[in-house]
Structure 1
Amino acid sequence: MSGGRRLLGGLAAPGIAWRAACLVFVLGLAAAAYFLWPATWGGQVSYVMVAGTSMEPTLRAGDLVLVRRSSTYAPGDVVAYRSPAGTLVHRIVGGSEEEGFALQGDNRGTTDPYRPRGDELLGKMWLRVPSGAIPLDYLRRPVNMLVLVASLAGLLLLGAGAAQRRRRRPRSLTAEPGPSRRPSALPDGPDVGLVLAAASVLALLGLVALGSAVYGFTRPTQLPVARQVPLYQHDGRFQYLLEMQPSTLYPEGRLGPVAPPPDGNGEVSPPNPVYSRLARTLHITYHYRLQGQGPAEVTGEAAASLLISAGKDAWSKSLPLVPAQGFSGGEATLTMAVDLEQVQATIRTIEAETGYRAQSYAIVVLPAVRVRGQVAGEPVDDTFQAPFTLRLEGGQLVPERQLVRREARTVSRAAWQEQAIALPGLEVPVDTWRWVSVGAAALLLSLAVAAVAVVAARGPLAWAELVHRSLIVEVQSPPEAEGGPWLAVASLGDLARLARLAEGAVFKWRYGAGALYFVKGASATYYFSSARRPGQAGHAAAPQQQPAPFRRP
């Protein structure tokens, strides 16, 4: 009994450890699914493979970036978004969710032409896997995926065969089961019925996968579509200087010059307070440049006007500031001077005439540029306006902080769009659908053939046992040697016919070297043994009177 308790104790601990390991695995799998579930399947994470150098040294080509959706984004965040040129991973350097974020690569000197809004961002960088995109890119190729699946299937079959050979350990024919052991011998191989049932299921699934592959090959992988791609960008930059009356606050008689930084989104810190009573002249320099995605051959005209407004629903007055000037080569510069004393005098005159005094007034310098020509072979005839505003309120002039204006233009180009097959909550590219289906069909049908081969390798006896399994009753103890001769028959099929004639059963007893099948008749016992002795091509040679061993009373 002490030995039995030791055996049970030795088995109990591994059982508990196995259950604990399974629980930890399931919990880990659930946690991984929660945190890493792809956004395309309803999760919060998007996977982006880095393919360029624009974010070096933060990100390098071949890195895998995991981005998670966020409710807020701020300058400094590394985010992913879909632009007309594809999915990009860049850093936020300015802007807002409503007007669009200004993004720029760490290895770039200019911001991106496209300014995505907050709802267009895929998310901010959550995790970086160095070189993690390399194996994923390798597995995206159908041939590589097929080789991997076939290799895993081969390893699985080899492992199953090795395990099966380890289970087939011979036992002595005369060994009697001990009191603490199961009275049956080791099995002589996998159950034929189960193996063939598994082969049938695998073959059915393989045919389904084959039909899926046929369906995939009837669908086009790409269709021509019109896609908007970047063509050029208008870029306007302001620089200003305020001429003031020399005073205690402004001993030098000026504020500025104020210019946008070379890098960033063009937003500057506000200067010292500008009191309208001391303001004399606003000097503004406006530089325009057309940035094309290809060779640009353009000419144009640039002009500027001054707009004074008392509000959205109140009066406004427009005054010419700079007459139209021609330019060529995609760049133009305007130099303007706004007499602030005259502007304030005009406001006071209109207030006296109308009897209306607004809380604040907007003084808007409005350059307008018109360009004509060709960019990257595409005809261009476009107008770009970039307002710069000062607000007059409470005796102060408040200049606008944003000194850079950009507008991107796109052109419709014919392109090939990847087609996908829609599933509930998932879209699979047609090309991927094809090769995954082909790989699955090849794997499943190969496993079905292998299962049939496992049964065929066991010889005709396995098939005969499958055919006559309704007559076979397996017993746990060896047959008793009692009365009458034991007569050997040529095959299990012969034994089955005898059983049907006697309206009885075929008893099967397993032992180390094989199995003994026998039918009890009125005057004799008929048997067939799967064990073979050297030099005999059929069944085991019959003993002189009966096969050994027998449990004798």
Structure 2
Amino acid sequence: MLPKAYSRNLLAAALLTAMACVWVVLAPAQFGGQAAYVMVAGASMEPTLHQGDLVVVREAQTYAVGDIATYRHPSVGPVIHRIIDRHGDRFVFQGDNNDWLDSYAPTANEVVGKAWLVLPGGATLLRQLRSPAGLAFLSVSLALILLITVRNGRGEKSHSMTSKRSASPPQSDRRLEALDGPVFVLAAVGLGALVLAIIAFARPALVSTPDDVPYAHLATFSYHAGGPASVYAGGEIRSGDPVFHQIVPRFQIEFVYHLQSPATGALAGSAGMVLEISEPNGWRRTLVLQPESPVSGRDLTLTGVVDLNLVRQAIALLEARTALDRQAYSVDIIPWVRLEGDLGGEPFSDTFQPRLAFTVDDLELYLRQGDPLSDIDPLRPTASGFVAHSTLTPAALSILGLDLTVVAARWIGTIAALLCLAGIATLSAPVLRAYRAGGFERTRVEYAARMIDVKAAPPAKAKSMIEVVAFEDLARLAEKNGRMILHVSDGGEHHFYVDDAGTTYHLAAGERTDRKPRTRRA
């Protein structure tokens, strides 16, 4: 069994450590923590989350498909939905109760955190506390707590001043009292370090972190042919010019392709190019410009000849057989590149199939105009993607803005806990030895804060002297009335006195304080 002061110190240290742990876990990001508090407004996440719920979200080292997370939308602010997909470095979100995807795909830096704790109705309660009535209730509650604390403090102070002896510092052995501060500090730090070590050992040292391999399909269309200088500047058709098929019946088209990626790898596949004639009712006709052929590597070039006579013949045959009469038809140049292999050590397979869209009528063939507000160049199509790849990285713990690897946290927590335990053992060894020895030494250690060594017994009349059976009774009298215990050593005997309002309480004992009292000689 430990001394009462030690038990109080350990309990206080445990409470302080628990409060610190709660603060570390729930501290808002504004105060260096990792938590954010999100109030659910709307029904987009039902039945998982309901309007009025309060969700505590915490920053995470990685986010995965299926996580409920909050992100910052540039227009509407924080949004809490579920991650359903990932495209490159961006996440795709959707509400559980929505049939559509979120219009904005945030990056990992725009994700506030993933749901960690849900408090049903917590947002409603928080709104009520923020109302005038709620603020008034909080103010009155805090005032009452402060008033009770102050009154208790004054009561203890006035009670302790009823004795002159209690106001003076004790002259006895103060070893236990002197250790209160250091033991409390070491216990608090040691418990905190122990909690840190337990959390660190409960987590893996390495985590799989997404490290996707990005790539991009880059291509350039170009076409050219000779033409009369009276129509075409320099006597040559350049990419983007209309082609008047009465004077330029055919032209050369070229498709240059490159796969861009910082990763290395071996790639091979096939490529080809066709011309497609179509019209809105779904009819289409295909002409091969370059047959499919094997390719390897990241670069290739496809070429072909567009014969406008063949295009016009196909259209004329359609109109003759069907009596269809269209003012214009769509003519698309469609190359495709299929590549397989490995990229960055991961399997790779993708197809790039852009379109260069023309319109043909009775006079000319010209590029179809897309969205005038778009900055996409139809002659330079691109597409990007990524190959899923992950790497093992050291797992980390974040404590109020301080990032520690799990391995470092294990070492720090374990060593700090052992050092604090050794410090407490070193400081407490003499006191604990005396406490366990029993007798007077235990009494001196346990009640050192209320005991004063004096040379002679206080004067007292025989009628006002009351003999006490056990030291614990004498200690209770001293504590109840705010008095000090006077100790007189007389050879092998120890005499203890408590003076209260003219009455002296006395206990005489040998080396064991629980022995029967002996009457003091007058």
Common topology (TM > 0.5): no
TM-score by length of 1: 0.42
